[in-house]
Structure 1
Amino acid sequence: MAETAASIGYGSFFHISEDNGATWIELAEVFDITPPNDTVDEIDATHMQSPNRTREFIPGLIDPGEASFEMNFVPGSASDLKVAALKVAGARVKCRITFPNSVAWVFSGWISSYEPAVPTDDKMTATVTWRVTGSTVSTPAAAPTNTAVPAIGGIAQVGQTLTAYPGEWTGSPTFTYVWKAEGVAIPGATASTYVPVIGDVGDNITVTVTGTNAAGNASATSAETLPVIAA
């Protein structure tokens, strides 16, 4: 039997766009997203000769329903101010839910309620509810794209740990690493850290990061370190 493809929701994002999708703003510290739930209206089409005295129904219009999410409530934060402003303005914006496998659902809506909760002995949260208008469009997953190149932290010295920072990527990828000396892959150096050895002295070190998701992969390489020095 095939292994399950099920996954948890961790890694999902909720973005909004006020310019019809040209730019997107991430709403921070969101959890427990409830995507839009369409329902189909029922039209009673019963008539005097309906067979067997049984009511007849036909499908009506589709009601796109609501969408919602919980978020950590941080008064005065960028997300708090943005949500509050959209509610007051009654602004209709585009919303995008990006799932962990990089599939995205895009819909239009306006905020129907913004409800912060401030308990005595637990974290503050807020519930944001959107009234969806129009249909929801599902966008297939796209391969990752690197938008800010990887970087290396640490001192290029024998015995000192170098740490790879993957940079910024679209598509919620997972990462693999290949460390290189003078552009040549170092055997076995595939972790997110690398400790230079004597043979690296005088070499410039780079790290190539490959981001992978369900739709494909892409790679990006950091800038070189200074030449490795002896301990």
Structure 2
Amino acid sequence: MSDVETGHLTEFHLWDFTITTPGLVELDELLEVPLPSGAADLVETSHMKTVGYKSYINAPLKEGEEADLVMNYVPGSPSDILLRKAKADGRAHAYKIVLQAGTGTWEIAGSVVVRDYVRSNPMADRRTATARVKWVSNETEAEGA
């Protein structure tokens, strides 16, 4: 028996600065939610007397990778409006990802910048949208409330 689960019921919440009471708003119709990652670049420390392999240290700052949130596109929906605003304002927005974990949840939180928001309108298939986000902070992870 395995404890492996699918991503079914995963939630992604994004901070909305523009509502009367700013707060986290859940995005609807999600198809794929990436999990944050980031790595520090390597700084080469080799010199003229280095032997064998080059030597490196980790750079002091990490750079978050870019990732795609994929969803069904519903024109004018709250998610569509929020993502268009977040792309336009260029600010870092708080986020929270809620994963189902056994009988409870696991939450991941931090900050992202919405770098792009691309919507498609195919003739004979569902409309989809992709929000390209860049992780811009360390994430925190803990059991959900």
- Which band: TM-score by shorter chain? 0.7 to 0.9
Q: How does 1:76-225 map to 2 (within 5 A)?
A: 76-101=76-101, 102-142=105-145
Gaps of 5+ in 1: 143-231
Q: Which residue type is aligned with residue 44 of structure 1?
A: E
The percentage of aligned residue pairs carrying the same residue is 24
Cα deviation, residue 24, structure 1: 2.0
What residue is the counterpart of 1:75 in the other structure?
75
Return the structure number with greater strand share.
Answer: 2
- Cα 1:7–1:16, aligned 2, differ >3 Å: closer, same or farther? same
Give the count of matched residue pairs. 137
Tell me the SS of whatever aligns to 1:99: strand
Q: What is the CA RMSD across the aligned residues, in angstroms? A: 1.6
Alpha-carbon separation, structure 2, partners of 1:67 and 1:125: 16
Q: Which residue type is aligned with residue 65 of structure 2?
A: G
Cα deviation, residue 18, structure 1: 3.7
Q: Which residue type is aligned with residue 79 of structure 2?
A: S
**TM-score of the two chains, using structure 2 as the length reference:** 0.87
In the TM superposition, what whole-angstrom CA distance separates every residue of 1:63-98 from its partner, at most 9, and x where no partner exists?
A: 222232101101111111111011111132101111
What residue is the counterpart of 2:10 in the other structure?
12
Query: Which of structures 1 and 2 has the larger relative contact order (alpha carbons within 8 angstroms, sep 6+)?
Result: 2
Gaps of 5+ in 2: none
Tell me the SS of whatever aligns to 1:35: coil
Tell me the SS of whatever aligns to 1:48: coil
**TM-score of the two chains, using structure 1 as the length reference:** 0.56
Tell me the SS of whatever aligns to 2:83: helix
Q: Is the 8 A contact 1:106 1:139 kept in 2?
A: no
Tell me the SS of whatever aligns to 1:134: coil
Q: Is the 8 A contact 2:66 2:134 kept in 1?
A: yes
Alpha-carbon separation, structure 2, partners of 1:92 and 1:78: 19
1:39 is the counterpart of 2:39? yes
**Runs of 4+ residues deviating >2 angstroms:** none
Q: Which residue type is aligned with residue 139 of structure 2?
A: T
Tell me the SS of whatever aligns to 2:144: coil
Larger radius of gyration between Structure 1 and Structure 2: 1
